[in-house]
Amino acid sequence: MKDPISTRDIGPRVGTPLWLYMLGTTAAGAGLLALSALGLSVDELRTLAIQPLIWVLLCMIVLGELRPVSIPGQPPGNGVPTSLPFSFALVIQYGLPVAALIQVVATLVAGFARGHASHRAAFNAAQYTLSLGVADAVLRLLVPVLVQGARFSAAGELATVALAGAAYFVTNRVLVLCAVAMHERISLRQTMSRGLGQQARINVVLLSLAPLVVVAMNHSVLYVPLFVLPLGALYTSALLSVKRDHQANHDELTALANRKLLTVRARQEIAHARQRGGGVVGLLLLDLDRFKEVNDTLGHPIGDRLLQTVARRLTYSVRPGDLVARLGGDEFAVLLPQIRDTAAAHEVASRLNGALTEPVRMDGMEFDLQASIGIALFPHDAPDFALLMQRADVAMYVAKADRTGVESYDPGKDRNSTARLSLYGELRRGLSEGALEMHYQPKVSLDDEHPVGLEALARWRHPSRGLLTPEEFMPVVEQSNLCRAFTAQVLDITLTHAALWRDEGMVLPVAVNLGVRELLDPELPDTVAAALREHGVEPHQLVLEVGEHALITDPDAATEAVHRFRGLGVGLALDDFGTGHFTLAQLAGLPLDEVKIHESFTARLVDRSGGGHTVVRAAIALVKALGMRATAEGVQNAELVRAARDTGCQSAQGRYFAPPLAAREVAGWVAARDGGTAADTRV
């Protein structure tokens, strides 16, 4: 077995328990080596040095250290070394002094060849020396006299060798796994159970070859290298098995754990936490923001290289023992087998976020990566892995929607409760069955109160709950994969009605609302253009209303999206102005035709008790100065109509004029308002 710090050659911090343990083990091994070496005279050393057998064995041990038998689930190079039969044969043949000396030399040479740090090579040499020392002690205690060169036919002698081999295995495993437990900050009992069966089987096979090596050594030095063949076959077979296991449990592109391995490890860690009675297991789900744009713009090869960069950064930013997995696409997960509390999980997530925000330079280009991370803890947030995964996913989508970067699971923000999941399934079926309806709220000119436009408002005819308003189902749409299908259906229904009204002689612009995800969807401009062509509707007859929240969530991406829509020739309006933190300075940089004042702002026009009406009047004046039209929303009475008109609003909408109308009611209402004449008004 190898030492625990196999993935990084960074020594433990001075003064830590791991540092003290490794220092103590190294010192003990060095002391035992020095003590055993006292039994060798200079003449004996000189005699050994000129024996070809010793040099052949040294070469075989070095080769065995460089070619360990790999074990599934362990890092490459961290298996059982194929040098074991030769090291153990040296103990049987010559005793500890010679065996330890040759093993230490071979370990240091192999460590140098593999580029191991000095502390790692020294620890390896020490734990080998101590393990061989225990095996030698068993042999000396149980066999007072070992006849060198004897054939191992006596059952007692073979039993003694077997006990010595078992002592070597137990000692070596305990020495290494104590360091692993300290390095990963988990219990020794938990580490001892890892791969015990496979380790034991391989050690039995290798140790059973040691008596045969002794027999070969006593017949001819030329027989010893022949063991390369069976050991090579064992090494190759194990390597193929590990590769198959790795392919089944790891992502091909990034070499990270896949969903299958994450699930197995997470369930194991949750079981260990239950056994400990109070342990906490954390799960982080991470999704890259706007990664699809990279693939669409620069191609998948660049996207794949970015994902590999992300994988490396995540791997080197987690704690020892944490597991990084790729779930697919640009979604990753990090399992925290032991975590103190939510605050500690936030520290890990913040470190991951910080590592990802460092710019990536590739092919002369610089990429800024951003991610949304959701956190869920066992047992605080979920009693099992399936629910833990779901709730980490909920937290991740909250982080993405609110642009906060990192969010812990909050039941109050869980849009995937049982009721919502049921609603999601019903809505998905409703979209496929044509249960979506559009109602239209008229917008009128404040000069003559004639219709100048319509705003399309979605309604869902639920099979048991009746007609549902957007407040009841839009959160489900926005937090699911239904967003694109929903928007496409809204456009299809709205433009179908617009084409019918046009054929009847009524030409009014119809506005459709866009949320954050719709606005930033790179495919939506093509969808809008295709829908206009399909229904034969002129672009100026469609107005896209963008909410304030959508523009402040990601200003740069939103501005770019608005300009793409402007290229289609459709009308553009800012909806719900006054509800967020959108500024007029930002407004000046957008190619908008209209700004719709939210009803909470509009209500201040008749409130003289404070200075709110002055602020609203000033905002409307600035909107007009920018060459945009101002529309008052939520107009409920004649007083608000007069106030909106006096402050410079060109149009208004609200229940004072008309509530949202079913499509069949629109033409009649417009004809009545226009005195029986068709309208041809452009917003």
Domains of the chain: 17-249 (no CATH), 259-414 (3.30.70.270), 419-673 (3.20.20.450)
Query: Which amino acid is present at 492?
Result: D
Task: Write down the pLDDT at residue 3.
Answer: 47
Q: Tell me the C-alpha distance between 211 and 326, whole Å.
A: 46
Does the pLDDT of residue 554 top 80, yes or no?
A: no
Mean pLDDT of 207-221: 90
CB atoms within 10 A of CB 39: 11
Does the pLDDT of residue 680 top 50, yes or no?
A: no
Q: Tell me the C-alpha distance between 643 and 629, whole Å.
A: 16
Q: What are the strands, taking DSSP E only, across 19-144? A: 68-69, 80-81
Q: Where are the alpha helices (DSSP H) in 457-523?
A: 470-478, 483-503, 516-519
Token digits for 162?
């077997």
Least-confidence region, from 5-9, 214-218, 478-482, 626-630: 5-9
The residue written with tokens 């070809």 in the block is 52
Q: Tell me the C-alpha distance between 57 and 105, whole Å.
A: 12
Does the pLDDT of residue 591 top 90, yes or no?
A: no
The residue among 109 and 548 whose pLDDT is bigger is 109
Mean pLDDT of 393-402: 83
CB atoms within 10 A of CB 454: 31
Q: Tell me the C-alpha distance between 455 and 278, whole Å.
A: 55
Q: What is the pTM of this model?
A: 0.50
Work out the burial of residue 98: count CB atoms within 10 Å of its CB; fewer than 13 is exposed, 13-18 middle, 19 or more buried: buried
Token digits for 607?
């409130």
Work out the burial of residue 539: count CB atoms within 10 Å of its CB; fewer than 13 is exposed, 13-18 middle, 19 or more buried: middle
Q: Give the pLDDT band (50/70/90) at residue 309.
A: confident
Q: Tell me the C-alpha distance between 676 and 524, whole Å.
A: 37
Q: Are strands 406-408 and 371-378 parallel, antiparallel or unpaired?
A: parallel
Task: Write down the pLDDT at residue 74.
Answer: 65
Q: Tell me the C-alpha distance between 510 and 441, whole Å.
A: 10
Nearest to 613 by CA among 622, 604, 621: 604
What are φ and ψ of residue 570, in 5° steps? -80, 160
Q: What are the strands, taking DSSP E only, across 354-399? A: 360-362, 365-367, 371-378
Task: Write down the pLDDT at residue 73.
Answer: 62
Q: Give the pLDDT band (50/70/90) at residue 255.
A: confident
Does the pLDDT of residue 266 top 60, yes or no?
A: yes
* 3-class SS of residue 390: helix
Least-confidence region, from 48-62, 363-377, 561-575, 626-640: 363-377
Mean pLDDT of 71-80: 68
Task: Return left, alpha or beta for 363; rule: phi > 0 is left, psi -120 to 50 is alpha, else beta.
Answer: left
CB atoms within 10 A of CB 582: 21
